[in-house]
Amino acid sequence: MSSDSTPLPPKLAKIVDRFQRRDNPKQKYEQLLWYAKNLPEMAQEAKVEANKVKGCVSKVYITATLEDGKVCYQGDSDAQLVKGLVAFLIEGLNDLPPEEIVRVEPDFIEDTGLKVSLTPSRANGFFNIFQMMKKKALGFHLEALEN
């Protein structure tokens, strides 16, 4: 990671480290599938157009709520690997204040080593999911600044 970037939140850094320790792309996929399997179920009524991530080949949905000043995400995808990417991001960014999420730069995606294991469309989808999560956090952050 470049020295001028903001340090990652601890949970996200731990996940990135976990992926860095996996040399084999198959192990990285297995890790993603493990995350997918452990992602809490998303309510069907939350799977609406407003929560759909644009620019993903798979159907991906992300919701965010603000509880006690911290962002709580939920998500789902119709593709298991992408669902794993969603779960990875939720695990790493959940329960953080919006301003901390807004400061996270996407270069951690490169640090996982997943980019070489994923198809270009999945890697792009991963970035789009992350950007949507950041955008939702930014909305909460701006709302807090106005109040």
Active site residues per annotation: 56
Say if CB 126 and CB 114 are below 8 A apart: yes
Beta bridge partners of residue 77, listed in sequence order? 60
Helix boundaries (H) for the chain? 10-20, 25-38, 80-93, 98-103, 108-111, 114-117, 120-146
- Per-residue CA distances from 55 to 8, 27, 88, 106, 122 (Å): 25, 26, 19, 16, 10
Torsion over CA: 134, 136, 142, 147 (sign)? negative
